[in-house]
Amino acid sequence: MLVKDCILSAPGKAILHGEHAVVHGKVALAVSVNLRTYLRIKATTDGKVCINLPNINTFLCWDVTELKSLVPDPCGNKEEGKLLNAELVKCLREFAGITNGNLDTSNMATLAFLYIYISMFGSSELPSLMVTVWSELPTGAGLGSSAAFSVCLAAALLCASGAISPPLRESEHTARWCQEDLELINSWAFQGEMIIHGNPSGVDNAVGTWGGMLRFLSGKIIPLSRVPLLRILLTNTKVPRSTKVLVAGVKDKINKFPTIMTPVLDSVDAISNTCEKVLSEMTHEPITGEHYKILEELIDINQHHLNVMGVGHPALDTLCRVTLARGLHSKLTGAGGGGCGITLLRPEDEDKEMTELCGLSGASGLAAVKYES
Ligand X SMILES: C[C@@](O)(CCO)CC(=O)[O-]
Ligand Y SMILES: Nc1ncnc2c1ncn2[C@@H]1O[C@H](COP(=O)(O)OP(=O)(O)OP(=O)(O)O)[C@@H](O)[C@H]1O
Min dist. Cβ of residue 68 to Mg ion (A): 30
Per CB under 6 A, does 313 bind ligand Y? no
**Of 105, 107, 209, 243, which lies in the binding site for Mg ion, with binding defined by CB under 5 A?**
243
- The answer to whether residue 266 is catalytic is no
Angle made by CA atoms 246, 248, 252, in degrees to the nearest 5: 115
Alpha-helical runs (H) found in the chain: 64-68, 86-96, 105-121, 145-161, 179-197, 203-210, 243-256, 258-284, 289-308, 314-324, 351-361
Choose among Mg ion, ligand Y, ligand X, none what residue 116 binds, the Cβ cut-off being 5 to 8 Å by kind: none
Q: Which stretch binds Mg ion (CB under 5 A): 226-234, 242-250, 262-270, 362-370?
A: 242-250
Check residue 140 for interaction with ligand Y (CB under 6 A). yes
- In three-state form (DSSP H/G/I as H, E/B as E, the rest C), the secondary structure along 199-228 is CCCCHHHHHHHHCCEEEEECCEEEECCCCC
Q: Which is nearer to ligand X, 30 or 282 (CB)?
A: 30
C-alpha–C-alpha distance, residues 317 and 334, integer Å: 15
- Minimum Å distance from CB 83 to ligand Y? 17
The Cβ of residue 310 has, within 10 Å, a number of other Cβ atoms equal to 15
- Residue 247, binding choice from ligand Y, ligand X, Mg ion, none, Cβ under 5 to 8 Å by partner class: ligand X
Which positions ≥6 away from 179 have C-beta within 8 Å? Answer: none
Distance between CA atoms of residues 138 and 35, nearest Å: 9
User: Quick count: other Cβ atoms within 10 Å of Cβ 44?
Assistant: 16
Between 150 and 235, CB nearer to Mg ion: 150
Task: Give the residues across from 31 on adjacent strands.
Answer: 14, 213
Paired residues of 51 in beta bridges: 60, 131
Least gap, CB of 197 to Mg ion (angstroms)? 6
Catalytic choice (9, 128, 201, 204):
204
Q: Is 143 in the site for ligand Y (CB under 6 A)?
A: yes
Q: How far apart are CA 99 and CA 55, in angstroms?
A: 23
Residues numbered 45 to 84 that lie near ligand Y (CB under 6 A) are: 53, 55-56
Q: Which residue is nearest to ligand X (CB)?
A: 201
Going by DSSP bridges, is the β-strand pair 58-63/231-236 parallel, antiparallel, or unpaired?
unpaired
Residues of the shown chain interacting with ligand X in the complex, contacts defined by CB under 6 A: 15, 19-20, 22-23, 144, 197, 200-201, 203-204, 243, 247, 334-335
Q: Report the alpha-carbon distance of residue 179 to residue 163 in Å, rounded.
A: 14
Does 37 engage in binding with Mg ion (CB under 5 A)? no
Beta carbon of residue 349, minimum distance to ligand Y (angstroms, whole number): 25
Shortest distance in whole angstroms from residue 319 CB to ligand Y: 16
Please confirm, yes or no, whether 204 is among the known catalytic residues.
yes
Catalytic choice (146, 242, 330, 361): 146
When asked if residue 309 is in the footprint of ligand Y (CB under 6 A), the reply is no
Q: By CB under 6 A, name the one of 9, 32, 85, 145 that touches ligand Y.
A: 145
Binding to ligand Y by residue 338, rule CB under 6 A?
no
Q: Does 306 bind ligand Y (CB under 6 A)?
A: no
Under the binding rule (CB under 6 A), the answer on residue 181 touching ligand Y is no
Q: Please, are residues 156 and 41 in contact by the beta-carbon 8 Å criterion?
A: yes
If one asks whether residue 135 binds Mg ion (CB under 5 A), the answer comes out as no
What x-and-dash track marks residues 95-124 binding ligand Y by CB under 6 A?
----------x--xx---------------
Q: Is 209 in the site for Mg ion (CB under 5 A)?
A: no
CA distances from 26 to 127, 130, 186 (A): 41, 39, 20
Tell me how far CA of residue 97 lies from CA of 84, 89, 100, 195, 315, in angstroms. Answer: 19, 12, 10, 15, 35
Contacts with ligand Y by CB under 6 A lie at 37, 53, 55-56, 105, 108-109, 133, 135, 139-147, 149, 196-197, 204, 242-243, 334-335
Catalytic residues: 146, 204
